[in-house]
Structure 1
Amino acid sequence: MADDGSTQAQSTWPLVKFSFKVMWDGAELIFQEVTGLSSETQIIEYRGGSSPVYSTVKMPGIQKFSNVTLKKGIFKGDKALWDKYKGITMNTYKRINIVVSLLDEKQDIAMSWTLKNAFPCKITVTDMKSDANEIAVETMEVAHEGLTISE
């Protein structure tokens, strides 16, 4: 008898990446793409002058978090990203937590990543081309101070 998949464990299949949602200060914003969810630890190299070993010791240093890029289609009259961006004035922007959630097949949250103290740092309008057959997409880059994961 063929296996119809009904007896498979939850961990058999990985999650798909096309089903996600973004919560920005308590409101859901719809995006086409989210990239840049990454963290990196800088390496500190040290060697004491009297060390008999002729190489350095490597230690973990400061963590760095890359900016996150959010892309969405442009709709007539939709200024949501511009409204968030125009609030920036010399370090007085209200920093918020942005939550990016990966959804399962039932549209329930499977995993979430939280961007701590986030604020928009760049916005890009679509390029315009008279012979293109594409939708207009605007891009916002968000800086943040930490990336945590939760289930």
Structure 2
Amino acid sequence: MKAFVVYESMHGNTEAIARAVAEGLAIGFEVTVADVRAMPVVGDTDLLVVGAPAHAFSVGPYRTRAVATWHGMAELRVREVGLREYLGCSPWLPQVRAAAFDTNLDKPSLPGSAARMADRRLRVLGCSMVAAAQSFHLVGITGPLVDGEFDRARRWGGTLADTMCPVLPM
């Protein structure tokens, strides 16, 4: 089985989570990990996992990424294409199972979620969601990840793999 993990990352935290999820998925999948800026073509895949940092309490539009680069919070290269644009031009994906995650501040009082927005967009594209949208937490706006989040992401990837490829009793 094939899995495709597509991520948007400004400071490397979301990329780290994407790679951890891919490690967990590797127990049952051949996994490809791709930066959204490459506009990767999903193609023949059994599972699509997408992830992005939360900007303005959702998947950030171009303007929020641009503001972050103007304020020196991110490299200039990240503002061109993000997950919002990628999903906005994706084809109909009715045979694809999917899951979404985000990275955001460890503050329960903050509204919104990039993962929930991505989840809704994937459903509109015809995907069948295999798990609830998942958030992984950061200590500050630019990181680092809260202790244990990398391991939790790896376990979540393993759970996704188990959901798609359950072990049959002997």
Report TM bin, short chain. under 0.3
Larger radius of gyration, structure 1 or 2? 1
Greater fraction of residues in strand: 1
- Compute the TM-score of the two structures, normalised by the length of structure 2: 0.24
- Compute the TM-score of the two structures, normalised by the length of structure 1: 0.26
